Amino acid sequence: MPTPPNRSPAQPRPVRRKVSARVYRRRRIAAALAALLVLGLVMAAGGWGYTAFRFGQISSVHVPGLGKAPSDGSVNLLVVGSDTRQGLRDGGFGDAAGQRSDVIIVVHLVPAARHAAVLSIPRDLYVPVAGTGGSAKINSAFNHGPGQLVQTIQQSFGIPIHHYLLVNFDGFREVVDALGGVSMYFPRPVRDSNDGHNESGLSIARTGCQRLGGGQALALARSRYFQYQDKAGRWHADPGTDLGRIRRQQTMLRSLAAKALGRNLANPIRANALVGSVVHSLTKDDRLTIGRSVTLARQFRSFDPARLTTLTLPVDRAVQRDGVVHRAGQSGFDFGLRQGWEQVLLPRQPDTRATVAKLLARPDRPAPGAPATTAPASPPAPSKISVTVKNATSRQGLAARATASLKALGFRATNGGNAPPSPVTRLAHAKGSDAAASRVAGVLKTGGERVARAPQAGLARSSVVLVLGKDFKGLASRVLKAATRPPKPTAATRDLPAWDPRPC
């Protein structure tokens, strides 16, 4: 699929099309929250001296109006995603001047219950702006500093804000690269196209499971004019507009968080690459101390991304001019729309109050020793799985032949030699790598019984030990690769439309 040519700086930018009624509900939360999660994980993994050094590299600002966190350890963090082009290392986002709060979300953390929830606040929400005596879109409060935005949120919704974090484009792009990319399954070729111009740079010509580097991952997260290609080669715009973008961002967020949690962050080289990729792209409030950050990071180190609660503030479409506001459905709305009044969003009550109450609700503390609820994992690609093959039979050279066959199927296989005699074939896998063991079991031929599997301490993630027993009959001739097989639906993906990418 050809990529639309870059527009010369001398050419005028095309006028953006007006989007549909339910616009701007949530903005690029993947960039902000993924950076936050990775930062916390790395800080928890490193030594104190190293952590203090890296923490000191994060810019700090004074934010007036922040509240005092309650004694129960819970915290509300305001995360703002900036679309500033200034200071970005690689550019590629055009030359828009100034800085806007394209992401405004509140992250609610309850360490005692291992609970995390995010509430996105639409940037076009029309509310009274603190200290001005008037109303405007909520993102305009950020133009006068984070303190005014904090106070506007607190007075409009009754949400106490305890800390503040700002992240830019680099914070997302480089975290993805430091993690080795993110794997997404594309049911259809996709692109970003605004009257023929690719605004975000998104261009995926092939279907199937593909690894996205930081550039394409950011392009997917930013894509406002997302299009997909049908089987006849025709291109269609996502009818969900910004709601569709939010949906894709949430999907990729969970995939990124899961990958970050799966990395060996105790490895100092890997930890340094991860934290080095994000610290220069963050700005925090000066009350967020290293002690508080490390404590939170350790408390949420084993958090399951599938348990992340995502909320959106319920809104209605409206128009306004000089403070006169008409909500959709009221007399005057259609007239104002035709006359070009400013299009805004208004909080829908009582739904907004109910959503805020749900965000701030205190979940029950998990029972001691209760297992965390996890979403079923999709089997990774064979190239991601390391298999050590051992021969527990009297057949000479069996491990070597099986190793060669596994390599032909795409696995990273090594010959582990002989093992004590065993009547059955069995698999040992790293804790949390059940999906990898399932993938290997899927190519084994035995006497018809399910191959026994069990976790084994000391194995690296996605590593499997295959012990060939007397019932071993050989290997399948091929394995259905992840690139051609859609991942099984999970609670987070089963409601996605047919054209949306999903983790693989």
Domain boundaries, the chain: 29-313+362-367, 382-475
Mean of the pLDDT values across residues 332-340? 93
Looking at the structure, give the CATH architecture of the domain made up of residues 29-313+362-367. 3-Layer(aba) Sandwich (3.40)
Residue 367 has pLDDT above 50, yes or no: no
Closest CA to 294 of 275, 280, 281: 275
- 118 touches 81 (CB < 8 A): no
* Banded model confidence at residue 471, pLDDT cuts 50, 70, 90: confident
In terms of average pLDDT, the best of 20-34, 147-161, 421-435 is: 147-161
Residue 395 has pLDDT above 50, yes or no: yes
Tell me, what's the pLDDT at 396?
A: 93
DSSP result, 127-162: EEPTTTSSEEEGGGGGGG-HHHHHHHHHHHH-----
Residue 24 has pLDDT above 70, yes or no: no
Burial class (CB in 10 A: 0-12, 13-18, 19+), 157: buried
Amino acid in position 502: R
Burial class (CB in 10 A: 0-12, 13-18, 19+), 431: exposed
Tell me, what's the pLDDT at 444?
A: 87
* Banded model confidence at residue 156, pLDDT cuts 50, 70, 90: very high
pTM for the model: 0.60
Tell me, what's the pLDDT at 102?
A: 63
Q: Euclidean distance between the first and final Cα of the chain, in Å?
A: 23
Mean of the pLDDT values across residues 297-324? 80
Among 124-133, 157-166, 287-296, 321-330, whose mean pLDDT is lowest?
A: 287-296
Closest CA to 82 of 149, 12, 26, 32: 32
Tell me, what's the pLDDT at 274?
A: 66
Residue 63 has pLDDT above 90, yes or no: yes
- In this predicted model, what pLDDT tens digit does every residue of 72-119 receive, in sequence order? 888 999 988 765 434 434 444 344 444 445 678 898 998 888 888 888
Share of the chain above pLDDT 90, in %: 30
- 207 touches 485 (CB < 8 A): no
Element (H, E) at 190: strand 190-192
Distance from C-alpha of 433 to C-alpha of 334, rounded to nearest angstrom:
56
- In this predicted model, what pLDDT tens digit does every residue of 459-468 receive, in sequence order? 888 899 999 9
- In this predicted model, what pLDDT tens digit does every residue of 125-150 receive, in sequence order? 899 999 999 999 998 888 888 999 99
Distance from C-alpha of 138 to C-alpha of 125, rounded to nearest angstrom:
6
Among 148-162, 274-288, 306-320, 371-385, whose mean pLDDT is lowest?
A: 371-385
Q: At 236, is the secondary structure helix, strand, or coil?
A: strand
Could you tell me whether strands 452-455 and 426-429 are parallel, antiparallel, or unpaired per DSSP bridges? parallel
Tell me, what's the pLDDT at 51?
A: 63
Tell me, what's the pLDDT at 414?
A: 93
Distance from C-alpha of 234 to C-alpha of 240, rounded to nearest angstrom:
18
Amino acid in position 221: A
Could you tell me whether strands 386-391 and 163-167 are parallel, antiparallel, or unpaired per DSSP bridges? unpaired
Tell me, what's the pLDDT at 19?
A: 40
Q: Which residue has the higher pLDDT, 15 or 102?
A: 102
Among 14-28, 95-109, 477-491, whose mean pLDDT is lowest?
A: 14-28
Closest CA to 46 of 284, 289, 282, 267: 267
Distance from C-alpha of 376 to C-alpha of 104, rounded to nearest angstrom:
31
Tell me, what's the pLDDT at 222?
A: 78
- 103 touches 122 (CB < 8 A): no
Tell me, what's the pLDDT at 270?
A: 58
Instruction: Please list the residues that pair with 344 across neighbouring strands.
Output: 318
Q: What are phi and psi of 77, to 5 degrees?
A: -110, 125
- 101 touches 124 (CB < 8 A): no
CATH of domain 382-475: 3.30.70
Distance from C-alpha of 129 to C-alpha of 3, rounded to nearest angstrom:
42
Distance from C-alpha of 329 to C-alpha of 342, rounded to nearest angstrom:
16
Residue 10 has pLDDT above 60, yes or no: no
Distance from C-alpha of 453 to C-alpha of 270, rounded to nearest angstrom:
30
Closest CA to 165 of 341, 42, 287: 287
Residue 253 has pLDDT above 90, yes or no: no
Tell me, what's the pLDDT at 48?
A: 54
DSSP 213: -
Mean of the pLDDT values across residues 474-482? 66
* Banded model confidence at residue 20, pLDDT cuts 50, 70, 90: very low
Distance from C-alpha of 362 to C-alpha of 371, rounded to nearest angstrom:
19
DSSP 180: T
Q: Which two tokens stand for residue 129?
A: 């702006």
| Mean pLDDT of the residues in the chain | 77
Mean of the pLDDT values across residues 447-454? 72
Q: Is the peptide bond before 239 cis (omega within 30 degrees of 0)?
A: no
